[in-house]
Amino acid sequence: MKVILLAELKGRGGEGDVIEVARGFAVNYLFPRKVAVEATPGNLKQLEQRMHNIKKREEVRLAEAGDFRSILDGKKIAITMKVGEAGRLFGSVTPMMIADAIKEQLSTEVDRRKIETRGAIKTIGEHVVEVSVYRDIKADLTVDVLAEGAAVELSEEEVKLAAEIEAAKAGEETAVADEAGEGAAAEAAEADDDSAAVEADASEEAPAEQETAEEPSTEEEAS
């Protein structure tokens, strides 16, 4: 039977498309989930009236899908797995694992159902997977499967960023050390000034005390 799609149906079409499907599929799946309606004369007439708005919405969806594709296409994510003999994994890398890694490493959420691994991923190394973004728009993503405990190889961009961060940290530490050194020098200079002042006061008081000690008493003069 013919139906009018109200939303994207993977591999079949998008909103406003009229497609042929099995009656059971339409009645048991598409209609209850409001993915499509039957292509009756009345619904087709309403579709003609709504086509202008549908086209506008489609243009927005395509633009957003293009932007989203640029976030994923050509990128690489790393997933660490336990490995047995001959580099075989204990289990396999699932779309859910890939979706979680994308969220963590690329800060982007992807529906695991839109990730196509092109076969089971059961060995270490790089594997290209396909992400269905919208309709015919897809992105190729590299999944680098690493053995547990292995070091992650950074890209040139990541190495450069790490070096910049380390340089910034080193600059902050140097600035703190310089400030501490200047503070210590100021304190030492102040201590020297205080010591000099004390010595000067002591030297002024010493002659006065000596003169007092040498002056004869009145009784001694009288005798």
CA atoms within 13 A on the CB side of 126: 10
Residue-wise DSSP of 75-89:
-EEEEEE-B-GGGEE
Confidence at residue 114, expressed as pLDDT on a 0 to 100 scale: 93
Residues 6+ apart with CB under 8 A from 95: 112, 113, 115, 117
Class of domain 73-147: alpha beta
pLDDT band of residue 212 (cuts 50, 70, 90) is very low
Enter the CATH code of domain 2-71.
Answer: 3.40.5.10
Residue 195 clears pLDDT 70, i.e. is over it: no
**Residue 148: its pLDDT value, please?**
83
Average pLDDT over residues 48-63: 94
Q: What is the domain partition of the chain in residue ranges?
A: 2-71, 73-147, 154-212
State residue 165's pLDDT score: 72
| 143 beta partners | 77, 127
Q: Evaluate if residue 187 carries a pLDDT over 70.
A: no
- Is the pLDDT assigned to residue 89 strictly greater than 90? no
**Which of 69, 75, 82, 84 shows the shortest CA–CA distance to 128?**
75
